[in-house]
Amino acid sequence: MCGIVGYIGGRQAVSIIMDGLKRLEYRGYDSAGIAVFDDTQTISVRRASGKLRNLEEALRQNPTDGNFGIGHTRWATHGRPTEENAHPHRDSKGNLVVVHNGIVENYLVLRHGLQARGHVFLSETDTEIIAHLVEDAFTGNLEEAVRAALAQIQGVLAIAIISRLDPNKIVAARQGPPVVIGLGEDEYFVASDVPAILSHTRDMFFLADGDMAILTASGVTLTDFVGNPVTRSVSRILWDPIMAEKGGYKHFMQKEIYEQPRSTRDTMLGRLGAESGRAFLDEVLISPEQMRGFRQIRIVACGTSWHAALAGKFLIEKLARVPVEVDYGSEFRYRDPILGPDTLTIVISQSGETADTLAAQREAKSKGSPTLAICNVIGSMITREAAGMLMTHAGPEIGVASTKAFTSQLTALFVLALYLGQERGTLTEAQVRAQIEEALKIPGKMEQILASEVIYQNLARSLHKAKDFLYLGRGIHFPIALEGALKLKEISYIHAEGYPAGEMKHGPNALIDENLPVVILAAYDPDDAESRLRYEKTVSNIQEVKARSGIVVAISNEGDKEIAEMADYVIPIPVTSEMLLPLLEIIPMQLLAYHIAVRLGCDVDQPRNLAKSVTVE
């Protein structure tokens, strides 16, 4: 979604805000703008459609600066991506400006009422309504006028507002999309995500829904929308600012693919005991007694996190023998799900602010189901509303197409499944120890895969002209096929579809010809009888594809000569246990998608029409 950055303090604001907006480019946007209270005691606004370089050019041609201001990158919802619709938006008299993430659902009714009172609108956006509502209620105190405006608005919003009639303050508020407040030395920051301000401060807190923050050069005051004081705990963000930079890689996505051994290791750290042979989840805050008492589990997520959830179903049912259902966050609350105190609802979100997943979490809580959040952002809304949380420790993920967040979620789900199996007695001590020993080898095996990038460059050279791809997997590998297809379509714009390999005869065989690449997950665990059976069935699928002249790209065990003789292209991966294979299988598919997209000249980090965090329904 859109990005917000605001600054108030002793320094010049423009460079700080522009730097923050650049760090939020990964969220996706189509226009940008900035507003500062300048030396003439007026609010100067600069806006431009397109990329931030266009806004930089507008500032170069017509400079401005001041000690406080706000900026915005917009992803169009109401109104085209034009300069007129770019944020910040003014009131009728030009006394205040607002930036806004979210949607004002009743904006037409409000607009008609304001027009009847003489307000003139200059844009097609719902955001401009907010500026006029605040103007209408302003009597000298900005936060009081904002409260009056918010009382009339239906929808979701994150806003930041400044006024020349009540200067030297920024008023920010949240009802839905995230807002983070940064605390510096005699300077303060507001943003929609941590990376925007991480180079200036590590001390931050997130606003909760219904919170308003009033930032001045001397401090931050917190209230609810009525004006009652509230408090929020400050978190120390441990990410190094350099983690949010490219670090010598061509794209953030490439960097994040290569960070997966580290993020996987960090997600296991302190949770899998090599010496004790036990899994530990002390920070989850749901007692072992509760864990043993759950009769079923629901997992709710969206997008890539939904694919992790599907794999998590296999992990939990296999290792802990608890029935699991997986739902899309966007569908969950619309089917009146049957659940109660004996159901654990797991919500998965990289950002912890995904609107659909949040709504599903609240639905589960309303029915008495405890919720466990698997998330990458400490202090995010999903973690605050959950009974327990399992952090993924992936660090900031900037590329819109998720990579390391996905493998970190898979790792967290594996640890949770192993812990549940251990506590519920469905795994013996020897089985737990064996799984831990193999899991701790996974980061090293990931590094082996990443050392052979030339394979994917050559594959991309051969396959980048294909118009369609098919991805096939069986069992726990089917969700990984779905994720591989999603990665390709997200960043290369090539149509791709993931399918259960056993369903080939029920339709997909009709698509296969000499132009269709079929990526088949054919790796297996030689020590697992079920895995060997799956492998034999997958070999049959390869033969089906070859019989129809399809192009087979097989991800297989190192040294598998049978697959090598049948497939057109082979991507070897190290051998590991069946439940851990997804962590290795996904990396070749990420790299294949990445190199095809690069070869096609696509915007890898910011694919068209997509945003990093979907904070509105």
Question: Residues near 60 by Cβ (< 8 Å), separated by ≥ 6?
Answer: none
- Contact at 8 Å (CB) between 297 and 343? yes
- The three-point CA angle 433-434-435 to 5° equals 90
Neighbour-count burial for 107-123, b at 16+ CB within 10 Å, e otherwise? beebbeebeeeebeeeb
Q: Return all residues near 434 (Cβ < 8 A) that are at least 6 apart.
A: 577
CA proximity to 137, closest of 106, 103, 161:
161
**612 in active site:** yes
Q: What are phi and psi of 321, to 5 degrees?
A: 60, 40
Sheet arrangement for strand 517-521: 495-500, 468-473, 517-521, 551-557, 569-573
Length reported for the chain:
617
At 334, list the tokens.
């619309």
Which amino acid appears at position 91 of this protein? D
Q: What φ, ψ does residue 256 adopt, rounded to 5°? A: -70, -30
What are 255's two structure tokens? 């960097």
Q: Is 2 an annotated catalytic residue?
A: yes
Q: Quick one: which H or E segment has residue 571?
A: strand 569-573
Rounded CA separation 476/315 (Å): 8
Q: In angstroms, rounded to a whole number, what is the distance separating the alpha carbons of residues 92 and 554?
A: 62
CA 105-379-280 angle, to 5 degrees, is 130
Catalytic-labelled residue, pool 2, 302, 375, 602: 2
List, in order, residues 6 or more apart from 425 with CB less than 8 Å away.
none
Q: What is the rounded distance in angstroms from the CA atom of residue 393 to the CA atom of residue 267?
A: 6
**DSSP summary character for residue 570:** E
Place of tokens 């609010």: 43
The CA distances from residue 121 to 43, 91, 105, 114, 321, in Å, are 18, 9, 17, 9, 60
Cite the active site residues.
2, 612
